[in-house]
């Protein structure tokens, strides 16, 4: 198991190094740490499936598709994963994306763990850093108060492609706390959520 994970990490490293700081290898390593914490409280989960899904979960992210041609399934083949293992990893990865609050249903505990672990890295102090890194990499505005008022709390209008970074908090990041599914994920999300609220209040005071 260790060898397969090490080989996989080596393969994805080259790819994530091309992504901006919001989705780089450090993101993957932080998500892995979050997943390890959640795994401790979910003894029925398959650790190998979780670890491989964490390593591969952002490979086919449409936002970065122009940067490489590798596919997740091919990579699983290359590290010697069986058909079964590969199918389980793919299914876990499929449940990760937020998609305006309309994520695919979670069909396994492994999918739930990877999704919660990824979402934890989108909130709190690190979530704040990542949102501005992502916006910066795409030349977005820091905030846009009019846009924010229009989009606030309406996930159905989710259009992450055009928004100012602070708008992203209102259309996605502030909603994540209530979308966590594992007990440990729910617990860990609380403190991070409260810190984001504190940050946004402080920011409002300074810019208004």
Which part of the chain contacts ligand ADP (CB under 6 A), choosing from 67-75, 84-92, 129-137, 148-156?
129-137
35 binds ligand ADP (CB under 6 A): no
The end-to-end CA distance of the chain, in Å, is 53
**Considering CB distances under 5 to 8 angstroms, the limit depending on partner class, which of Ni ion, ligand ADP, none binds residue 122?**
ligand ADP
Q: Pattern of binders to Ni ion over 100-119, x per CB under 5 A?
A: ------------------x-
The pair of three-digit structure tokens given for residue 5, joined into one six-digit string: 């994970």
The CA-CA-CA angle for residues 13, 96, 198, to 5°, reads: 95
Examine residue 171 and tell whether it contacts Ni ion (CB under 5 A). Answer: no
Q: Give counts: helices (H), strands (E), the chain.
A: 10, 0
Burial 69-83, CB ≥16 within 10 A → b, else e: ebebbebbeebebee
Stretch that binds Ni ion, among 57-65, 87-95, 145-153, 199-207 (CB under 5 A): 57-65
**CA count, 13 A, side-chain hemisphere, 175:** 18
Stretch that binds ligand ADP, among 12-20, 37-45, 94-102, 191-199 (CB under 6 A): 94-102
98 contributes a contact to ligand ADP by CB under 6 A = yes
């Amino acid at each position: 198991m260790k060898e397969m994970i090490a080989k996989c990490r080596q393969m994805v490293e080259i790819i994530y190094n091309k992504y901006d700081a919001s989705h780089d290898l450090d993101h993957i390593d932080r998500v892995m740490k979050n997943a390890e914490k959640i795994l401790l409280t979910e003894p029925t989960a398959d650790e190998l499936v979780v670890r491989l899904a964490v390593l591969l979960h952002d490979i086919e992210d449409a936002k970065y598709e122009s940067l490489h041609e590798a596919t997740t399934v091919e990579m699983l083949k290359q590290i010697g994963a069986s058909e079964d293992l590969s199918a389980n990893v793919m299914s876990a990865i499929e449940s990760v994306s937020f998609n305006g609050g309309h994520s695919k249903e979670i069909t396994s505990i492994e999918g739930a763990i990877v999704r919660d672990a990824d979402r934890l890295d989108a909130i709190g102090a690190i979530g704040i850093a990542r949102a501005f890194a992502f916006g910066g990499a795409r030349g977005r505005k820091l905030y846009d108060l009019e846009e924010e008022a229009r989009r606030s709390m309406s996930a159905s209008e989710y259009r992450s492609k055009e928004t100012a970074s602070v708008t992203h908090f209102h259309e996605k990041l502030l909603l994540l706390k209530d979308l966590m599914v594992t007990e440990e994920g729910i617990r860990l999300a609380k403190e991070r959520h409260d810190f984001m609220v504190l940050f946004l209040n402080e920011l409002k005071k300074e810019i208004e």
